[in-house]
């Protein structure tokens, strides 16, 4: 039975859609059970890459803790809010195992999993922040090669990278990370021991490929992308949301299998809200400009939708920093994406920039004044990221022209 779109954005209808998306695919199971030491997993937004990474790391960490193995896992990503989410999820899953281990020892058990952003790793290796990304990586290479006492050299038995495409601005980042892997020390796992591999896995969305839009600009690790495990089935978005996301899907790695949703949940229709106040750009950030957000928030609250299930996405951090106090002025409690994963009192509306919400998701997304003209190099990628963050119910607030442009077959003008 195919579920049809509901006319009311109630908590019941949104949670029904969310439950329908909480399934696994055969592709995901094959990846999870894969014991290959080196593996790249490529798939579009919503195909379950981050969930797979966390499940794999949690399973591996539980085995290390339970058997008191002298092994360590590193999880790397670019976006700090995503790193906080991954770390919180893994810590929560491992707490019962650590609690059991504490019963048999006096000292605190050694943490098994490190979750770090790539920037933080570079700062730790170099001892300072270097603004020039190329120079920062070069200096880190030099430090790992020349300093035998560097804490990061050959430090990890297993390395997992999430949203690897976000690291593409850093030249040859896979080689740098492999210098931190124990396999680069010249010591290998026991020959024939297929049950205990040393993992180096990268999860990658080849649609969010930044500057690699032309064949001659393919990254140095293009062979790994071509030979990678491919995910094609979307679980995150309802069909109505996916149809919008798919307008911006132009993957670097072509596959013979078309990308599509894995479920039959059509979900709620996208709500398009033309707002005349956007015509006057000088009032950007004023309380009057966020009235359309307030109206939708009140509607959602009347239908019992929780604050933490609502995310307002804006173009940049500067806009976010204006919108949050404007909403708080009218009594709407807000938080940014980092606070969502660092504070206990997190039943607040999330307001965040599109880029900083990469890798994250929300049941309800209110997309506020998104770009809709293809005048900038990364507009399509930004829209792809923005729309794909929504699981169940999407509201787009823009100009009349913007709404028409985003609803067009091309998805922008």
For the stretch 179-237, pLDDT in tens is: 999 987 765 544 434 557 899 999 999 875 544 444 445 567 888 888 888 998 888 89
For the cut 50, the answer to whether the pLDDT of residue 21 exceeds it is no
* DSSP helix/strand/coil, 148: coil
Strands across the sheet with 158-161, in order? 113-117, 73-77, 158-161, 200-204, 38-42, 229-230
Structural domain boundaries in the chain: 24-234, 239-407
Share of the chain above pLDDT 70, in %: 84
pLDDT tier at 30 (50, 70, 90 boundaries)?
confident
233-234/362-368 β-pairing: unpaired
Question: Could you say which of 3.40.50.300, 3.40.50.1360, 3.30.720.110, 3.30.1180.20 is the CATH number of the domain covering 24-234?
Answer: 3.40.50.300
Least confident of 29-43, 121-135, 182-196, 220-234: 182-196
The residue among 259 and 9 whose pLDDT is bigger is 259
pLDDT at 217: 55
Pick the most confident of 8-12, 17-21, 211-215: 8-12
Q: Which residues contact 168 (CB under 8 A, 6 or more apart)?
A: 209, 210, 211, 212, 219
The total number of residues written for the chain in this structure: 413
Q: Is the dihedral of CA 122, 124, 127, 128 positive or negative?
A: positive
Q: How many of the other CB atoms lie within 10 Å of CB of 275?
A: 20
Share of the chain above pLDDT 90, in %: 59
Q: What angle in degrees, to the nearest 10, is found between the helix axes of 49-66 and 80-102?
A: 30
Q: Which residues contact 295 (CB under 8 A, 6 or more apart)?
A: none
pLDDT at 66: 87
pLDDT tier at 259 (50, 70, 90 boundaries)?
confident
pLDDT at 102: 75
**Which backbone phi and psi does 41 adopt, to 5 degrees?**
-115, 115
Class of domain 239-407: alpha beta
pLDDT at 400: 93
Distances, alpha carbon 294 to alpha carbons 278, 362, 366, 390, in Å: 15, 18, 11, 19
B/e letters for 174-199, b = 16+ CB within 10 Å, e = fewer, are bebbebbbbbeeeeeeeeeeeeebbb
B/e letters for 86-121, b = 16+ CB within 10 Å, e = fewer, are bbebbeebbeebbeebeeeeeeebeebbbbbbbbeb
Nearest to 57 by CA among 41, 81, 75: 75
Q: How many of the other CB atoms lie within 10 Å of CB of 75?
A: 22
- Residues 349-364, mean pLDDT to the nearest whole number: 96
pLDDT at 159: 98
pLDDT tens sequence across 382-406:
999 999 999 999 999 999 999 999 9
d(CA 306, CA 9): 12
pLDDT at 7: 46
**Which backbone phi and psi does 291 adopt, to 5 degrees?**
-60, -35
Query: What does pLDDT average to over the chain?
Result: 85
Nearest to 127 by CA among 139, 135, 116: 139
pLDDT at 68: 87
The residue among 19 and 145 whose pLDDT is bigger is 145
Give the CA angle between residues 141, 144, 148 to the nearest 5°: 160
């Amino acid at each position: 039975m195919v579920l049809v779109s509901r006319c009311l954005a109630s908590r019941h209808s949104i949670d029904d859609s969310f439950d329908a998306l909480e399934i696994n695919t055969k592709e995901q199971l094959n990846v999870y059970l894969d014991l290959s030491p080196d593996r790249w997993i490529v798939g579009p937004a919503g195909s379950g890459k981050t969930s797979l990474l966390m499940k794999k790391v949690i399973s591996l960490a539980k085995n290390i803790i339970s058997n008191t193995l002298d092994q360590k896992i590193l999880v790397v990503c670019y976006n700090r809010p995503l790193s906080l989410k991954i770390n919180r999820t893994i810590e929560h899953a491992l707490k019962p195992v650590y609690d059991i281990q504490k019963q048999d020892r006096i000292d605190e058990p050694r943490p098994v999993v490190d979750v770090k952003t790539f920037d933080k790793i570079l700062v730790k290796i170099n001892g300072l922040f270097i603004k020039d990304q190329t120079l920062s990586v070069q200096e880190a290479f030099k430090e790992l090669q020349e300093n035998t006492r560097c804490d990061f050299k050959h430090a990890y038995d297993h390395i997992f990278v999430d949203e690897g495409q976000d690291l593409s601005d850093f030249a040859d980042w896979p080689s740098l990370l492999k210098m931190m892997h124990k396999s680069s020390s010249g010591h290998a796992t026991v020959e024939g021991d297929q049950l205990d591999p040393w993992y180096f896995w990268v999860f990658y969305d080849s649609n969010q490929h930044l500057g690699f839009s032309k064949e001659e600009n393919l990254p140095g690790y293009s062979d790994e992308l071509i030979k990678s495990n491919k995910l094609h089935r979307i679980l995150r978005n309802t069909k109505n949301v996916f149809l919008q996301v798919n307008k911006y899907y132009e993957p670097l790695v072509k596959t013979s299998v078309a990308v599509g949703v894995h479920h039959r949940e059509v979900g709620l229709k996208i709500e398009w809200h033309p707002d005349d106040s956007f015509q006057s750009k000088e009032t950007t950030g004023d309380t009057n400009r966020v009235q359309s957000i307030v109206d939708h928030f009140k509607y959602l609250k009347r239908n019992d939708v929780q604050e933490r299930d609502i995310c307002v996405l804006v173009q940049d951090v500067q806009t976010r920093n204006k919108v949050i106090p404007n909403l708080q002025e009218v009594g709407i409690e807000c938080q940014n994406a980092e606070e969502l994963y660092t504070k206990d009192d997190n039943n607040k509306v999330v307001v965040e920039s599109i880029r900083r919400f990469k890798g994250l998701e929300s049941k309800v997304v209110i997309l506020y004044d998104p770009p809709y003209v293809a005048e900038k190099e990364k507009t399509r990628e930004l829209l792809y990221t923005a729309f794909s963050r929504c699981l169940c119910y999407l509201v787009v607030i823009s100009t009349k022209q913007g709404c028409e442009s985003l609803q067009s077959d091309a998805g922008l003008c």
